[in-house]
Structures are given as C-alpha cells and as structure tokens.
Chain A
Amino acid sequence: MSVSKHIRNILPVILSIIFALMAWQVTVQVTQLPRFILPAPMDVWLRFLKSLADGSLLYHTGITLSEIILGLLTGITFATVTGYVLAKSRALEKVLSPYLVASQAIPVVAIAPLLVIWLGDGILSKVVICALIVFFPVLVNTVVGVRAVPNALYDLMRSIRATRWQILLKLELPASLPVLLGGLRIGATLSVIGAIVGELVDAEEGLGFLLQLGDFQYDTSMVFVAVFMLIALALSLYGVVTLLERRFLNWQS
C-alpha cells in the first residue's frame, strides 16, 4: 500500500476523532457541567499525563493486560482442544453439548462474584473469568472450522499415508484457520470485558480498580482515562488478530 493511499484510508478516522473531541468540548462549555460530572477533553488529557508520569497508569494497565492475555491463552487452549475433540466425535458432542449450551445461559457477570470469593481478589480470579467468557465462542468456531475441512483433502492425506499428527498440522490447522481466527477476534474483545468485570467485583489493582477509585474520589477525569485505556487495549488486541489474518490468510481472495 502506498503512503498516500494509507493516509487517505486513515484520514476519515482522524477527522471523526477531531470532530468528536470538538463536540465534547462544546458540550462542556455550553452546559457548564461541573468537572466531576463531565470533565473537558483537556482535563482528561492532563490527568492522563499525570498518571503516566507517576507510573500508576502503566502499572495498572500492565496488570489488566496480563489478566487478559493469560485468560485469553487459557480460554483458547481449553476451547480449541475441547472443540477439536467435539468436532471429531459426534457421540461426545451429543453427550456434552447440552451442558455446554446450558452453561451459556449463565452470564459470566453473574458468577464473577462467586469466582472472586472462591479464588481470591488477586489476578487468578480475573484470569478465570476471562477464560470462561472467551471459551464458548472459540469452542464453537473450532467445531465449525474443523468440520468444514473438505473430505477430498482428507482423502489426499490418507492416500499418501499421512499420520494423525501430520493431518492435524498440515491439513486441519491451516484449513480451519480462517474460522479459528474469527473466533479469536470475538474472544479478544470479550476478554477485555471479562477482565474488567472481575476487577469491578473486587480488586486491588488493574484498570477496573483505577476506574472504581476514580469513581469513589469524584476524580471523573481518572475514570475517563481508564476507559480510554481499555478501548486502546481492545483495539490493540483486535489489531493483532487482523495482523495474524493478513499474515496467514493471504491465500483467501
């Protein structure tokens, strides 16, 4: 992609951000709302610089990010392994799927307090909440992806005496990768929600903790900073998945 084309692609995004900031500023000026209800963009920016300078922002972002990544990895690992087994065995799918579907009727938000009670208010409970919220969409996509591998290609692999392991690595994995990455895309976004839900229940650190602290202290600018940080995290994860898709799925038109 040429530089000018790149600029043309992101120009609308930049313009819309500038427009939103202006609208925000105008709202603050016109309504004259107190700062603890709606801080101005500049207040938030200064609060951002301050929390960056004293190191608190990066520290808490780091905590939340590690919860997300650990939760995502755990969730993906369990989901793909379970999904693969379910995709391969109709019998097992029949036995397990009622439980899996029923488990989806329980919102993770509702059992988050339980998990915090059981696992403590540290990082572990958040990782587990993250993993649980990521589990189902990745599982479903794994089953769909593996089932969609063309039979003709299984025939090919078996005609040249591929081992189970070779079939997994050289056929099933690449063939189902588009659907798997689709699941990861959904999972990545959900994992941010999972971590925050866990932190809002009870935590001593993390962006959710920062958010609540700001709330208690009427430091609304701080709340905004934390929210923007969360958005940045979600977008970055989304970006990573997009990069993976560009790198590994360029064979798709």
Chain B
Amino acid sequence: MTTSKSILTVLNLSVVFPDSNGGLTALENISFDVAPREFICFLGPSGSGKTTLLRVLANLLQPTAGQVHFIHHQHPKIGMVFQQASLMPWRTVLDNIKLPLELEGVGEVKAQNKAREMIRLVGLKGFENSLPRDLSGGMAQRVGIARALIHDPDLLLLDEPFASLDALTRERMWMELSRIWQAKQKTVIMVTHSINESLFLADRVLVLTQRPGKIKLDVEVDLPRPRTDDIRYTSHFGKLAKKLRGAIE
C-alpha cells in the first residue's frame, strides 16, 4: 500500500492516558495506511486500545504523539458505531436515527423518509416510535448502526457493532454491511473480537498486541467476493483463521 493512493495515513501514533503512576500507554507507535474503499478489521485482546484508536480517528481524542493524515488534509464525514449503543434516551428510534441528518439541516420530511428506509434495512420495522429503554441490547445496537449509515459518511468507524446480536441477525448484518460497502464505496474500519467476522468482511485484518497496543500482524484477506457462508469451510479460510488465532494472545 503506497502512501500516495491512501485515503488515510496513521504515522507513529501513541496514546498515553494520564494516571497516578506516570501514565498508561494505550497505543504505542502505530502506523498503517488505508486505501480508499478498503475494509479493515482490527482484532486484539480486551484493553489493547482498539476503541482508543477509533476515537483518535474520529477526532474525539488527541494522540499523545504521531499523526493522522486524511487525504486532502480534510476530515472526512464519519459514521461511527459505538461499543455501547449511545442512544439518546429521550428520542424515539426514528428520531435517534435521523439525528445526523437533522444536524446537517436536511428537511424534516426527507430526513424521516430516509430514517424509515434505514429502519427497514436494520430490521426494526414497527419500532419507529419506541424509546431506547424498551429495546433489547441487540436492537439498540442496530439503531446505532442505522444512525451511523444514514448521512452517507465517507468513513465508517465500527466498534464491535455486532457483538450483542444473535448469530442469525449478525450474519444478516454482515451481508447488509458487505452490500452497502460495495454499493456505496465506503471506507470501513471495524473493531471486532471475532476472527470469522473479520475474515467474512475485511480486505485486511490488523492484529493488536496486549497493552500497550502495537500492530502485531497485518494480513491481506484474499478470499473471493461475494463471500457466502460456505467460504468458512474452504482451506484458505482455515489457514487465515489459524494465522490470526496464533497472533491473538
């Protein structure tokens, strides 16, 4: 991956959180490039700094050292799915989902229609007017996914978006995400704990070490697309999975 054609370059990034004994290093000397329309997965043990990395990319956290360069030096439009759904408890499902459009000043009717479309996409039809308190964890997570996609962002940052879904819904969401990613030509950076998930979705998988997080492994996933359920029984899938498992402590 050459720097010239990458949409995002991360260079020698470190994040140290202040604490009582000299600071806690969450990320240490991370460097990687992301090509336009690339789908990247980060794997790593709990506490290896995956969420911290996404927060830096979303410009929610200033790194202690190192740089994040976006193409043309301007911050892209971001859609982020948080590890905890982060819904506004006073807004209905529909109103939560249309929030990004509201902030962009899109008209009410258009925003509502788009939100209904997203609600269908994540399979929450009939729950438009429910409040977050009445949703299950998986449903709340799907509201978060719909909200991240609604304003057609250039860069999707997904923090374990499918962790609280049942296997069936999860696989349906994989398909949907693959489809959206291919149709809308987005760049996706996703954090997950699931090797299967990363191999199912990603072009490239990066494995982080135990804290402080460093990049331990950077693997191209050269499995053919579209990937269906059968792919996990191929020998190549097995080989990649084994390699990743070996890298995760």
| Interface residues, chain A, with chain B CB atoms under 8 Å away | 150, 152-153, 155-163, 166, 170-171, 174-175, 177, 251-253
Contacts and interface: CB of A to CB of B under 8 A. Distances in A.
Residue in A159, A175, A252 with the greatest tally of chain B CB atoms within 10 Å? A159
A60 B84 CA distance: 56
A152 B82 contact: yes
B89 interface: yes
A39 B151 CA distance: 71
Contacts of A174: 88, 90
Contacts of B60: 155, 158-159
Given A152-B84, A161-B78, A253-B133, 8 more contacts: A155-B82, A158-B59, A159-B59, A160-B79, A160-B103, A174-B88, A251-B91, A251-B131
Given A170-B102, A251-B133, A253-B133, A156 B82 contact: yes
A159 to B, nearest CB: 4
A170 B131 contact: no
Residue in A160, A177, A251 with the greatest tally of chain B CB atoms within 10 Å? A160
A251 B78 contact: no
Contacts of B58: 155, 158-159
19 contacts: A152-B82, A155-B55, A155-B58, A155-B82, A156-B82, A158-B58, A158-B60, A159-B58, A159-B60, A159-B157, A160-B80, A160-B151, A161-B78, A170-B99, A174-B90, A175-B90, A251-B90, A251-B91, A251-B131
B90 A153 contact: no
Nearest to A158: B60
Contacts of B151: 160
B100 interface: yes
* 6 interchain residue pairs of minimum CB distance: A251-B90, A159-B80, A152-B86, A160-B100, A159-B58, A174-B90
Nearest to A161: B103
Given A155-B60, A251-B131, A251-B133, A160 B86 contact: no
A173 to B, nearest CB: 10
Q: Is the interface of A mostly helix, strand, loop or mixed?
A: helix
Interface of B: 55, 58-60, 77-80, 82, 84, 86, 88-91, 99-100, 102-103, 131, 133, 151, 157
A127 B46 CA distance: 58
Given A160-B151, A251-B131, A253-B133, A155 B103 contact: no
B111 to A, nearest CB: 13
A145 to B, nearest CB: 13
A175 B87 CA distance: 12
Given A159-B80, A160-B100, A170-B102, A153 B59 contact: no
A159 B82 CA distance: 10
Nearest to B55: A155
B86 A155 contact: yes
Contacts of A158: 58-60
B90 A159 contact: no
A85 to B, nearest CB: 24
A170 B105 CA distance: 13
A251 B135 CA distance: 13
B187 to A, nearest CB: 15
Contact of A170 (B77, B78, B103): B103
B163 to A, nearest CB: 16
